[in-house]
Amino acid sequence: AARVDGHRLRAESNAIMVGASTIRRDDPSLNVRDYVPPVSPLLNPLDPLRIVLGKAAATAKVQPCREMSGDLGAILDQLGADGILQLLVEGGAGVAGEFHRAGLVDRYVIYLAPAFFGGDDANGIFEGAGAWDISSVWRGRFVGVERVGEDLRLELAPQESAQQ
């Protein structure tokens, strides 16, 4: 159920962004599957624009992919000028960490399953330095908690935009 909900997020977005490392490592499809929109696909095309941050768009499984690099704020400005108003940043951890550190995230959507991954080599949500004490931890605010099948969908906003 969480995967279907994730595909709903893709369908509702104008574009999906991943990093070049994700393209090289996982070769994701980045398309919408297992989700039927409430309106005709002709009125609401399912597959959003696929954007690769860095140099790997030409090797992506699903084409076309738009390759972008540089300052994230400038990239968002360009996408906005092109009519891309809802960008889903799927990551990986490098791209997600860059957006997080730059304060460019309006909403975080995290799925929590009753299962655990872990270990010294387990991937984190973000690459980069983490918080080592409570005074330096990132604080957000829950703006939505929903059960999705056996999983939970947690939606968070940064403290300063939690009122929006």
Q: Cβ neighbours of residue 29 under 8 Å, at least 6 residues apart?
A: 61, 62
Q: What is the pLDDT of residue 162?
A: 47
Q: Which residue has the higher pLDDT, 28 or 19?
A: 19
Q: Could you tell me the two tokens for 148?
A: 């999705």
Whole-angstrom Cα distance, residue 112 to residue 125? 12
Whole-angstrom Cα distance, residue 47 to residue 33? 9
pLDDT-based confidence at residue 153 (cuts at 50, 70, 90): very high
Q: Contact at 8 Å (CB) between 114 and 150?
A: yes
Q: What is the overall mean pLDDT for the chain?
A: 82
36-72 pLDDT tens trace: 665 555 444 556 777 777 766 556 666 677 778 889 9
Alpha helices (H) in 29-145, listed in sequence order: 72-81, 93-101
> Of the candidates 89, 86, 84, 83, which has an alpha carbon nearest to the alpha carbon of residue 102?
89
> Of the candidates 69, 66, 63, which has an alpha carbon nearest to the alpha carbon of residue 31?
63
- Report percent pLDDT > 70 for the chain: 82
In DSSP terms, which residues pair with 87 in a beta bridge?
15
The pTM (predicted TM-score) of the whole model is 0.80
Whole-angstrom Cα distance, residue 3 to residue 64? 23
What mean pLDDT is predicted for residues 109-121?
Answer: 89
Where are the strands (E) in 12-163, listed by range? 15-19, 49-53, 65-68, 87-91, 108-112, 140-148, 151-158
Q: What is the pLDDT of residue 43?
A: 46
pLDDT-based confidence at residue 155 (cuts at 50, 70, 90): very high
Where are the strands (E) in 27-82, listed by range? 49-53, 65-68
Residue 86 half-sphere exposure toward CB, CA atoms < 13 A: 8
What mean pLDDT is predicted for residues 132-149?
Answer: 92
Q: Could you tell me the two tokens for 61?
A: 């499984």
Domains of the chain in sequence order: 2-161 (3.40.430.10)
